[in-house]
Structure 1
Amino acid sequence: MPRMIYDYTKNVLERVSFDPKLFVKELRKALKALLPYELEMLKKWLDYFTNQKPELKPCLTVIQ
């Protein structure tokens, strides 16, 4: 079940990546919903994902 939440979170973040404010909002929700090891996986995925969308790099300060 937790893996489903992680996959859902990635899906939502991909869909809202057109708007940095919405992206941050969903990222904050993810921080509350995911388990610690899932957050580590999400951080790695976000590094990869934001390399393709540099306008989202400043949004990553939320998870630091």
Structure 2
Amino acid sequence: MSRMIYDYTKDVLEKVSFDAKLFMRELKKAVKNLLPYEIEHLKKWLQYFTNEKPELRQFLYIVSE
């Protein structure tokens, strides 16, 4: 079940990545809803994903807290 939430979170973040504020809001929601190990996976995925979208790299601190 929780894998589905993680995958859903990635899908949402990809879809809202056109708007930095919306991306930040969804990322904060994700951190509240995911398990600690899922947050680690999300952090790695975000590092990869934001290579193509450097304007979103500033929000990596949210998953590092």
TM-score, normalized by the shorter chain, greater than 0.5: yes
Percent sequence identity is: 69
Higher normalized helix content (fraction of residues): 1
Query: Displacement, 1:38?
Result: 0.4
Which residue pairs with 1:45 in the alignment?
45
Q: Distance in 2 between matches of 1:47 and 1:19?
A: 18
Which residue pairs with 1:26 in the alignment?
26
> Structure 2 stretches of 5 or more lacking a match?
none
Query: Displacement, 1:54?
Result: 0.6
Q: Distance in 1 between matches of 2:17 and 2:31?
A: 17
Cα RMSD (Å) of the superposition? 0.6
> Structure 1 stretches of 5 or more lacking a match?
none
Q: Distance in 1 between matches of 2:28 and 2:61?
A: 11
TM (normalized to structure 2)? 0.94
